[in-house]
């Protein structure tokens, strides 16, 4: 089972004919896993009808022998009238000699005894699949060979001889070109077609190559029926049978008559043209010599002109290099000047910027001075108001003190008066301290210059 090529099996279609339901169902299910299609019939009659319907789609037949309506032998006899070569495998529970003889007559490929050995059956089917595949390849090759043969026969002259080098076949193209009828040439020797201009040794060499199974290739000139000729590129090969024995030769020719004649005319025309050219060249040789001398003078003049132009070119190159150096120098100076200009411009920009900043500072200072004057004025007003308030309070205290003194004078008890006086002195002293503290706070929080002017240095 390991050597079975499943791809080859999958290419095939099977017709399986079996009257036993269990065997048929089991084996058909198994075969379906390996083959592209499995057609199933329950007796020989249905199997024959199914084959007739699907005969172009069936590659192998597996059938029982002992079946109702039609036995396997009877079914195969009918099938052999349609197809002599389809492979058939018989399965049966008997090994009757009579059946074996009939099976051999009907070209049965294999005879398998029931119960069926699946391994043996698959081995047989694998062998058959290989054979069928090889036949398929062979048919394909034969079809391709036929195509090539048709191409050769339709586009070339073909002549076939027997082993005695007598013509046995010519194709239609040969008859069209030469005018010969096929019947006129059959039985004639190949050399019969030789033109008188061709040496006999060429045909001797062709015959010798054929006898030694060697190909001959060359150009031949052969006669036509009207006494004219045709020229062909010719290949001659030996033909052999299956035993390798010589059976004759195959001559394949390509008509090149028009091409050869045309080439000949071209060569003749060229020879004629060469002769005319030679004659004309002799007649015109003196004129050509004069022209050559004139050309030599012109060449000499041109040489001098080239030398002069070259000298001018050298001077121009020198002048160009000189100007180039000066140009580089000027570019360097210009670049330096641009750098200096940029530096001056930067300085000027900075100066303008500083001037603007100074002007802004002056304006700011002016605003600050104005604000300071306002603050001074406010402080002066506030201090004057405080001074006035204190003066009023002092006057009030002095008046009160005067009143108290007057009352003190009116009081007879000196001790009581003394205590009151001490009380008012202490109160006046505390009030003076409070005023002094308030003055310090004003000085501390106000502008020093203004405070100094108002209260003096403390």
- The answer to whether residue 428 is domain-embedded is no
Number of domains in the chain: 2
> Residue 414 pLDDT > 60, yes or no?
no
- The answer to whether residue 282 is domain-embedded is no
Residues 64 and 13 in one domain: yes
Question: In Å, how far from its chain's centre is CA 381?
Answer: 98
Residues 94 and 181 in one domain: no
- 363 or 87: which carries more pLDDT confidence? 87
Average pLDDT over residues 222-241: 89
> Residue 64 pLDDT > 60, yes or no?
yes
pLDDT-derived band at 161 (thresholds 50, 70, 90) equals very high
- pLDDT value of residue 16: 94
Q: Model confidence over 181-221: pLDDT tens digits?
A: 888 889 999 888 888 888 989 999 999 999 999 999 998 88
Cα–Cα distance measured from residue 109 to residue 105, given in angstroms and rounded to the nearest whole number: 11
Could you tell me the CATH number of the domain that includes residue 32?
Answer: 3.40.50.2300
pLDDT-derived band at 96 (thresholds 50, 70, 90) equals low
Residues 135 and 214 in one domain: no
Residues 163 and 255 in one domain: yes
Residues 200 and 109 in one domain: no
Percent with pLDDT over 90 in the chain: 19
Domain edge (last residue) among 140, 167, 193:
140
Residues 36 and 116 in one domain: yes
Whose CA is closest to 223, among 251, 185, 260?
Answer: 185
Residues 223 and 100 in one domain: no
pLDDT-derived band at 274 (thresholds 50, 70, 90) equals low
- 194 or 331: which carries more pLDDT confidence? 194
Residues 231 and 258 in one domain: yes
- The answer to whether residue 61 is domain-embedded is yes
Residues 223 and 130 in one domain: no
> Residue 66 pLDDT > 70, yes or no?
yes
Residues 163 and 100 in one domain: no
- pLDDT value of residue 284: 62
Domain edge (last residue) among 246, 263, 280:
263
Average pLDDT, the chain: 79
pLDDT-derived band at 95 (thresholds 50, 70, 90) equals low
- The answer to whether residue 127 is domain-embedded is yes
Residues 113 and 10 in one domain: yes
- The answer to whether residue 307 is domain-embedded is no
> Residue 412 pLDDT > 60, yes or no?
no
> Residue 454 pLDDT > 60, yes or no?
no
- pLDDT value of residue 416: 66
Q: Model confidence over 131-160: pLDDT tens digits?
A: 988 988 898 888 888 777 777 777 788 999
Residues 107 and 39 in one domain: yes
Record the pTM. Answer: 0.44
> Residue 445 pLDDT > 70, yes or no?
no
Which range (61-70, 242-251, 427-436) has the least confidence?
A: 427-436
Structure tokens at 217: 């290739």
- pLDDT value of residue 2: 44
pLDDT-derived band at 408 (thresholds 50, 70, 90) equals low
Domain edge (last residue) among 263, 297, 328:
263
Domain that holds residue 122: 6-140
- The answer to whether residue 62 is domain-embedded is yes
Could you tell me the CATH number of the domain that includes residue 187?
Answer: 3.30.450.20
- pLDDT value of residue 13: 92
């Amino acid at each position: 089972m390991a050597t079975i090529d499943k791809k080859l099996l999958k290419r095939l279609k099977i017709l399986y004919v079996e009257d036993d339901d269990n065997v048929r169902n089991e084996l058909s299910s198994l075969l379906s896993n390996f083959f592209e299609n499995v057609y199933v019939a329950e007796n020989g009659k249905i199997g024959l009808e199914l084959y007739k319907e699907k005969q172009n789609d069936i590659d192998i037949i597996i059938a029982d022998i002992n079946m109702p309506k039609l036995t396997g032998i009877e079914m195969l006899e009918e099938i052999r009238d349609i197809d002599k070569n389809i492979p058939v495998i018989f399965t049966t529970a008997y090994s009757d000699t009579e059946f074996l003889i009939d099976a051999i007559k009907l070209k049965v490929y294999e005879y398998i005894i029931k119960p069926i050995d699946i391994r043996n059956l698959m081995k047989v089917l694998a062998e058959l699949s290989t054979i069928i595949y090889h036949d398929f390849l062979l048919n394909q090759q034969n079809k391709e060979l036929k195509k090539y043969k048709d191409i050769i026969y339709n586009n070339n002259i073909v002549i076939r001889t027997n082993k005695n080098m007598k013509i046995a076949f010519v194709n239609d193209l040969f008859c069209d070109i030469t005018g010969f009828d096929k019947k006129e040439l059959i039985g004639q020797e190949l050399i019969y077609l030789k033109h008188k201009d061709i040496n006999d040794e060429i045909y001797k060499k062709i015959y010798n190559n054929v006898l030694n199974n060697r190909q001959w290739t060359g150009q031949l000139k052969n006669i036509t029926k009207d006494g004219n000729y045709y020229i062909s590129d010719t290949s001659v090969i030996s033909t052999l049978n299956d035993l390798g024995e010589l059976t004759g030769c195959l001559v394949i020719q390509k008509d090149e008559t028009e091409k050869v004649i045309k080439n000949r005319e071209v060569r003749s025309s060229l020879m004629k043209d060469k002769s005319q050219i030679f004659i004309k060249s002799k007649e015109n040789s003196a004129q050509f010599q004069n022209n050559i001398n004139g050309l030599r003078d012109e060449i000499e003049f041109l040489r001098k002109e080239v030398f002069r132009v070259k000298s001018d070119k050298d001077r121009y190159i020198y002048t160009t290099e000189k100007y180039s150096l000066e140009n580089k120098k000027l570019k360097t100076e210009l670049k330096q000047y641009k750098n200096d200009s940029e530096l001056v411009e930067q300085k000027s920009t900075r100066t303008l910027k500083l001037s603007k900043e100074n002007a802004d500072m002056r304006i700011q200072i002016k605003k600050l001075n104005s604000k300071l004057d306002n603050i001074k004025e406010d402080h002066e007003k506030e201090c004057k108001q405080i001074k006035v308030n204190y003066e009023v309070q002092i006057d009030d205290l002095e008046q009160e003190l005067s009143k108290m003194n007057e009352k003190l004078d009116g009081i007879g008890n000196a001790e009581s008066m003394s205590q009151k006086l001490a009380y008012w002195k202490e109160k006046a002293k505390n009030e003076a301290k409070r005023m002094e503290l308030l003055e310090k706070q004003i000085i501390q929080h106000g502008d020093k210059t203004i405070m100094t002017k108002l209260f003096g240095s403390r």
